[in-house]
């Protein structure tokens, strides 16, 4: 039997292969994860909610093979995973990072978690999150999650606990969700891979607005291959999500087993909308130029994102007001001030502001669709700044430019949210101080397969993913 340290260093793809071959067991992996979490999570604070005994009960009942045989690409064969603390797991806490729900026990398991469980995943813990939404993982219930690469820095958010747990080897796959960049930003900051799939690719639970396309659920892992594996386990059609669509005929893992090289890639360091830290821009530019070694044409180009920042601010505020407006009336004093501001912004919106945002989003979608008639992939930095001090609520400036709201620094991800295009962040290099930098790759609408192919090819060229997992660093 392999040691716990050896097991936590496996990729998810390797671990699932060994599970399918009966060379290791789910119980061995649960033991290894529990040992690793006990050893290091006091420093990182990524997984404040654990339930190993419940996971072991599931492991003992798990069938020996997939419902359709072990060849089923989404069958995870008993792999332990982490759920996000926005997702319900029956019998466990769902706090949303809020003191209002600090003791709330979920009665049922939501559809996103249940889909993974049906495909052989075993939840063992829940990852720390910001209160309700945000891109820096801290809250008054469990405290702040720290970046394993430098414990004095932010792990990003809102899937920051998931990203930090992956980077430090506490788990092999983790759930994430994304409104303005919550899968991609923590992936960039923690040096892992986070993918925002096409809207409808992964069914969502009843707690979300069923006809909203801004908030999606998606996979997080240490490698692109592992993300593809997890997406195969998530991508199903569900009657509980009207936007969900059927599983594709070709498995996403085939995108990395038989990758297709893109022909033409566009790169922009700023998407024409915001300043970017010069070191981040240079690291990303150098990384995307590595596509040239594959005889891929790389050009400086970007769609026109004019109006996208204001449109997203409006539509995000509208969504938060729709979901949390009634809660604000009852619990204002116990809601974080940034979230209060955002909900109130939504409640004050005029019909003209809402119509303008919807029209701007429609126009943007068509401009981006036309752009992808020429280019296969758009690349840009995932985040405009490197990981910031953990004591800060959010970055307040980029260079000499002052930022006005708590999400201004996230613009490279949230304008992509508006397009409904799939996007992925992969680690592409490090700052001079040793902090990870993520490159965001964006594919055309419903182009998840081609996006995974391109991301895998670049990941293989950059040879960074093998550096994970890491020991927490002070």
What pLDDT shows up at residue 372?
Answer: 98
Cα–Cα distance measured from residue 420 to residue 443, given in angstroms and rounded to the nearest whole number:
10
Report DSSP state, residue 425. Answer: E
- DSSP letter assigned to residue 447: -
Question: Which whole number is the average pLDDT over 71-88?
Answer: 94
For residue 393, the SS3 value is: coil
Q: Is the pLDDT of residue 408 over 90?
A: no
Instruction: Give the distance from CA 285 to its chain's centroid.
Output: 22
CA dist list (Å): 156 to 52, 69, 194, 208, 444: 26, 38, 12, 22, 26
Contact present, 221 and 174 (Cβ < 8 Å): yes
Sign of the alpha-carbon dihedral angle for 456, 111, 185, 358: positive
Report the alpha-carbon distance of residue 406 to residue 388 in Å, rounded: 13
Catalytic residues: 84, 158, 182
- Edge-first strand listing for the sheet containing 423-430: 49-50, 121-127, 79-84, 173-178, 216-221, 193-196, 423-430, 436-443, 377-381, 264-267, 297-300
The shares of helix, strand and coil residues in the chain, as percent rounded to the nearest 5, are 40, 15, 45
Q: Which two tokens stand for residue 433?
A: 């101080």
Residues 40-66, mean pLDDT to the nearest whole number = 95
Q: What's the longest Cα–Cα distance across the chain? A: 65
> For position 208, what pLDDT does the model report?
85
- Rounded to an integer, the average pLDDT of 401-411 is 84
Q: Compute the average pLDDT of residues 450-466.
A: 98
The Cα 470–Cα 169 span in angstroms is 7
pLDDT of residue 71: 72
Tokens representing residue 351 in the block: 């019909």
What is the rounded average pLDDT for all residues in the chain? Answer: 96
Q: What is the pLDDT of residue 69?
A: 67
pLDDT digit string, tens, across residues 268-293:
999 999 999 999 999 999 999 999 99
Residue 168 has pLDDT above 80, yes or no: yes
Residue reference for tokens 């709201």: 405
Mean pLDDT of 214-240: 97
- Give the confidence band of 64 by pLDDT, cuts at 50, 70, 90: confident
Percentage of residues in the chain having pLDDT higher than 90: 92
pLDDT of residue 278: 96
Of the pLDDT bands very low, low, confident and very high (cuts 50, 70, 90), residue 1 is low
DSSP track, 17-70: HHHHTTSS-HHHHHHHHHHHHHHHHHHH----EE-HHHHHHHHHHS-SS-TT-T
* pLDDT (0 to 100) of residue 353: 98
- φ/ψ region of 43 (left if φ > 0, alpha if ψ in -120 to 50, else beta) reads alpha
Question: How far apart (Å, rounded) are the C-alpha atoms in residues 188 and 237?
Answer: 29
For 106-157, how does the pLDDT look when each residue is reduced to its tens digit (9 = 90+)?
A: 999 999 999 999 999 999 999 999 999 999 999 999 999 999 999 999 999 9
3-state secondary structure of 439: strand
Q: How far apart are CA 215 and CA 181, in angstroms?
A: 10
Q: Which residues contact 50 (CB under 8 A, 6 or more apart)?
A: 34, 37, 124, 125, 126
Domains observed in the chain? 4-467 (3.90.1300.10)
pLDDT exceeds 90 at position 216:
yes
CB 9: neighbour CB atoms within 10 A?
17
Which regions of 207-271 does DSSP assign to beta strands (E)?
216-221, 264-267
């Amino acid at each position: 039997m392999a040691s716990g340290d050896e097991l936590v260093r496996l990729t998810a793809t390797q671990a699932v292969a060994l599970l399918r071959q009966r060379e290791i067991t789910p119980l061995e992996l649960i033991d290894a994860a529990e040992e690793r979490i006990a050893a290091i999570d006091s420093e990182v604070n990524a997984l404040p909610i654990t339930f190993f005994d419940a996971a072991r009960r599931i492991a003992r009942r798990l069938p020996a093979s997939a419902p359709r045989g072990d060849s089923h690409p989404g069958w995870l064969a008993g792999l332990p995973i982490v759920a996000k603390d926005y997702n319900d797991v029956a019998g466990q806490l769902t706090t949303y990072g809020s003191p209002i729900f600090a003791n709330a026990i979920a009665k049922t398991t939501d559809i996103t978690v249940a889909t993974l469980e049906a495909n052989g995943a075993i939840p063992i813990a829940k990852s720390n999150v910001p209160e309700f939404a945000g891109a820096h993982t801290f809250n008054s219930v469990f405290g702040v999650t720290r970046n394993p690469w430098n414990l004095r820095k932010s792990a990003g958010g809102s899937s920051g606990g998931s990203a930090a747990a992956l980077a430090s080897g506490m788990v092999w796959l983790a759930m994430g969700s994304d409104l303005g960049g919550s899968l991609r930003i923590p992936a960039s900051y923690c040096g892992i891979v986070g993918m925002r799939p096409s809207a409808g690719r992964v069914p969502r639970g009843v707690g979300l607005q069923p006809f909203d396309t801004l908030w999606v659920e998606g996979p997080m892992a240490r490698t692109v291959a592992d993300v593809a594996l997890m997406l195969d386990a998530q991508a199903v059609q569900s009657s509980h999500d009207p936007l969900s669509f059927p599983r594709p005929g070709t498995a996403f893992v085939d995108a990395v087993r038989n990758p297709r090289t893109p022909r033409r890639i566009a790169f922009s360091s700023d998407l024409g909308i915001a300043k970017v830290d010069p070191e981040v821009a240079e690291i990303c530019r150098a990384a995307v130029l590595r596509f040239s070694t594959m005889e891929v044409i790389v050009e400086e180009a970007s769609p026109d994102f004019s109006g996208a920042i204001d449109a997203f601010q409006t539509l995000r505020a509208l969504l938060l007001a729709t979901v949390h407006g009634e809660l604000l009336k009852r619990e204002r004093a116990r809601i974080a001030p940034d979230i209060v501001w955002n909900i109130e912004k939504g409640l004050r919106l005029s019909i003209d502001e809402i119509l303008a945002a919807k029209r701007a989003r429609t126009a943007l979608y068509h401009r981006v669709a036309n752009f992808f008639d020429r280019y296969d992939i758009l690349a840009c930095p995932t985040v405009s700044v490197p990981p910031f001090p953990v004591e800060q609520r959010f970055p307040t400036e980029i260079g000499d430019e002052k930022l006005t709201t708590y999400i201004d620094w996230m613009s490279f991800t949230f304008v992509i949210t508006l397009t409904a295009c799939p996007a992925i962040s992969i680690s592409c290099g490090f700052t001079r101080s040793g902090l990870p930098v993520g490159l965001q790759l964006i594919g055309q609408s419903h182009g998840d397969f081609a996006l995974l192919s391109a991301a895998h090819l670049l990941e293989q060229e950059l040879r960074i993913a093998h550096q994970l997992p890491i020991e927490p660093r002070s």
